[in-house]
């Protein structure tokens, strides 16, 4: 019994830090945090705590950082605790159910320097409350129901150094996204202190990027998936004086455009170069169960598993499950055979390592060492039941289910 309790004890990074990230905790477990009068940093990201649990922390007075990243049961009601927290500086509310009401509550809290309200339920009206956050430096609000009109609030936030307006969210009311067009970049261009800007997945063009050239401190620009960005954007990127890093993956920039950009800005790190030389799929690793293919595109042909990655391995990688082995690799058949009774490697090639992992009930799975995704296959092994992302060095995944969980982990080698 004592051994089981170890999985519910928070990890203390410092005396004033509590980290429950991804843990199987309930509202009652937050009583332990409530008893820590001097706690300064609280991480409840990826948990299932509710408003009732958060309200147990109302009396705390020294909290400076609160991370509720995709704590999806948190709403405006639970975040009422912020009213009584005079020192709060950094808030990550991404993926919660917060609305304009929470932003109204935060208005006037000059202690706040960083705020992430991405993938929530905020509108143009709610953004107007941000003008009263005089010391705000970092802001993210992609994936909300906003328009170009709401973007004009940025004119009242001249001290921003980090801005993220990328992302889409599907809700019951349809597809929500910040409608970022070239017109929306007019207020962004007024942010003279801006150092990092995320515009991935937006509809901007080269004309919009031209507006950003006068930003003398802009060092990092994410344009991943901005499909209207082509070779005509190269002169503007090369002319942005402080730019040191740009992601052009999944844009319309060609290999020739990449070469031209590197010639004009040799100190610039450019991600996403298209592999024009690859015209046919190439098998790079193979065994009785899996075939790993380097392909020119993201399509999948024939029997196999295509992995829609949240990370970007080199070039385009497809992992296929062989037709002949489909019966042997079924979800319910892949019992572990390693000496530790935990996992077994089924492929260890030059590009990827593929491992079958068994997670005991109410226990953590092994953590990954490389950039990885976990796949839980359904009954038909040639299809994906669920793809679970694991970042490099992430904490071990916890199996909340009352039965063992078996996964196929695909790790991309450096």
CA–CA separation, 334 vs 399, rounded Å?
A: 17
The verdict on 255 and 301 lying in the same domain is no
CA angle 60, 65, 66 (to 5 degrees): 80
CA-nearest of 202, 205, 197, 199 to 243 is: 197
Q: 149 lies in which domain range?
A: 2-271
* 329 occurs within a structural domain: yes
CA–CA separation, 160 vs 114, rounded Å?
A: 9
Tokens of 323: 């037709």
> Which position has the token pair 């006037």?
108
CA–CA separation, 178 vs 147, rounded Å?
A: 6
The verdict on 109 and 52 lying in the same domain is yes
The verdict on 369 and 256 lying in the same domain is no
Residue 201's domain is classified under what CATH number?
A: 3.80.10.10
The verdict on 291 and 173 lying in the same domain is no
Q: Write down the pLDDT at residue 7.
A: 38
CA–CA separation, 235 vs 154, rounded Å?
A: 26
CA–CA separation, 200 vs 225, rounded Å?
A: 5
The verdict on 264 and 289 lying in the same domain is no
Contact between residue 29 and residue 5 where contact means Cβ atoms under 8 Å apart: no
The verdict on 339 and 369 lying in the same domain is yes
User: What residues pair up with 373 in beta bridges, in sequence order?
Assistant: 389, 410
CA-nearest of 60, 59, 50 to 27 is: 50
The verdict on 169 and 204 lying in the same domain is yes
* 277 occurs within a structural domain: no
The verdict on 131 and 181 lying in the same domain is yes
Ordered per-residue pLDDT tens for the chain, 414 residues: 444 433 344 444 444 789 998 888 899 999 999 999 999 999 999 999 999 999 999 999 999 999 999 899 999 999 999 998 999 999 999 989 999 999 999 998 999 999 999 888 888 889 899 999 999 999 998 877 777 788 899 999 999 999 998 866 444 444 444 567 888 899 999 999 999 999 988 889 999 999 999 999 999 999 998 989 999 999 999 999 999 999 998 899 998 899 899 999 999 999 988 764 445 667 777 776 677 776 554 444 434 444 544 444 445 566 776 654 444 444 334 444 433 445 778 788 777 788 888 788 778 888 877 777 777 765 444 444 566 767 777 777 777 777 777 777 888 776
The verdict on 264 and 391 lying in the same domain is no
Residue 325's domain is classified under what CATH number?
A: 2.60.120
Q: Write down the pLDDT at residue 240.
A: 96
**Of 226, 245, 271, which one is at a domain's C-terminal end?**
271
Phi-psi region of 267 (alpha: psi -120 to 50; beta: other; left: phi over 0): alpha
CA–CA separation, 339 vs 343, rounded Å?
A: 9
Taking the CA atoms of 231, 234, 237 and 240 in sequence, report the sign of the dihedral they define. Answer: negative
The verdict on 154 and 19 lying in the same domain is yes
SS (H, E, C) the chain: CHHHHHHHCCECCCCCEEECCCCCCCHHHHHHHHCCCCCCEEECCCCCCCHHHHHHHCCCCCCCEEECCCCCCCCCCHHHHHHHCCCCCEEECCCCCCCHHHHHHHCCCCCCCEEECCCCCCEHHHHHHHHHCCCCCEEECCCCEECHHHHHHHHHCCCCCEEECCCEEEECCEEEEECCCCCCHHHHCCCCCCCEEECCCCCCCHHHHHCCCCCCCCCEEECCCCCCCCHHHHHHHHHCCCCCEEECCCCCCCHHHHHHHHHHCCCCEEECCCCCCCCCCEEEEECCCEEEEEECCCCCCCCCCCCCCCCCCCCEEEEEECHHHCCCCCCCCCCCCCCCCCEEEEEECCCEEEEEEEECCCCECCCCCCEEEEEEECCCCCCEEEEEEECCCCCCCECCCCCCEEEEEEEECC
User: What residues pair up with 316 in beta bridges, in sequence order?
Assistant: 295
How many other CB atoms are there within 10 angstroms of residue 28's CB atom? 11
Tokens of 227: 């499909």
* 392 occurs within a structural domain: yes
Give the chain's domain count. 2
**Of 219, 240, 271, which one is at a domain's C-terminal end?**
271
Q: Write down the pLDDT at residue 179.
A: 62
> Which position has the token pair 């289910």?
401
**Of 271, 290, 323, which one is at a domain's C-terminal end?**
271
The verdict on 191 and 210 lying in the same domain is yes
CA-nearest of 13, 53, 7, 4 to 33 is: 53
* 276 occurs within a structural domain: no
* 239 occurs within a structural domain: yes
The verdict on 18 and 140 lying in the same domain is yes
* 151 occurs within a structural domain: yes
* 35 occurs within a structural domain: yes
Query: Which pTM does this prediction carry?
Result: 0.65
């Amino acid at each position: 019994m004592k051994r089981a309790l170890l999985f519910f004890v928070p990890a203390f990074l410092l005396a004033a830090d509590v980290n429950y990230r991804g843990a199987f905790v309930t509202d009652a477990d937050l009583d332990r945090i409530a008893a820590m009068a001097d706690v300064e940093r609280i991480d409840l990201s990826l948990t299932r705590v509710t408003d009732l649990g958060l309200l147990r922390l109302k009396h705390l007075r020294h909290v400076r950082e609160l991370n509720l990243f995709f704590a999806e049961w948190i709403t405006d009601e639970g975040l009422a605790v912020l009213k009584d927290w005079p020192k709060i500086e950094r808030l990550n509310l991404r993926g919660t159910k917060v609305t304009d009401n929470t932003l109204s509550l935060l208005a006037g809290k000059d202690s706040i320097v960083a705020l992430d309200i991405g993938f929530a339920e905020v509108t143009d009206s709610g953004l107007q409350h941000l003008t009263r956050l005089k010391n705000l430096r970092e802001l993210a609000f992609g994936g909300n129901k906003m328009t170009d009109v709401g973007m004009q609030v940025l004119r009242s936030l001249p001290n921003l150094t980090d801005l993220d307006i990328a992302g889409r969210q599907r809700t019951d009311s349809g597809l929500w996204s910040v409608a970022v067009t070239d017109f929306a970049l007019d207020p962004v261009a007024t942010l003279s202190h801006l150092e990092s800007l995320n515009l991935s997945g937006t509809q901007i063009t080269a004309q919009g990027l031209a507006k950003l050239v006068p930003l003398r401190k802009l060092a990092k620009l994410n344009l991943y998936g901005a499909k209207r960005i082509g070779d005509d954007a190269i002169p503007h990127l090369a002319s942005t004086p402080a730019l040191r890093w740009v992601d052009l993956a999944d844009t319309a920039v060609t290999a020739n455009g990449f070469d031209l950009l590197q010639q004009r800005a040799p100190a610039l790190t450019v991600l996403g170069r298209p592999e024009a030389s690859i015209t046919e799929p190439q098998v790079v690793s193979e065994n009785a169960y899996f075939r790993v293919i380097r392909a020119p595109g993201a399509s999948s042909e024939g029997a196999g598993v295509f992995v829609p990655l949240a990370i970007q391995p080199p070039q385009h990688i497809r992992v296929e499950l062989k037709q002949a082995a489909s019966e042997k690799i079924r979800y319910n058949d892949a019992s572990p055979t390693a000496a530790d009774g935990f996992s077994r490697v089924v492929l260890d090639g030059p590009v990827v390592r593929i491992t079958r992992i068994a997670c005991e009930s109410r226990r953590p799975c092994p953590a990954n060492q490389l950039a990885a995704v976990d796949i839980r296959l359904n009954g038909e092994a040639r299809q994906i039941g669920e793809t679970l992302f694991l970042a490099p060095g992430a904490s071990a995944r916890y199996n909340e289910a009352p039965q063992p969980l078996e996964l196929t982990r695909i790790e991309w080698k450096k």
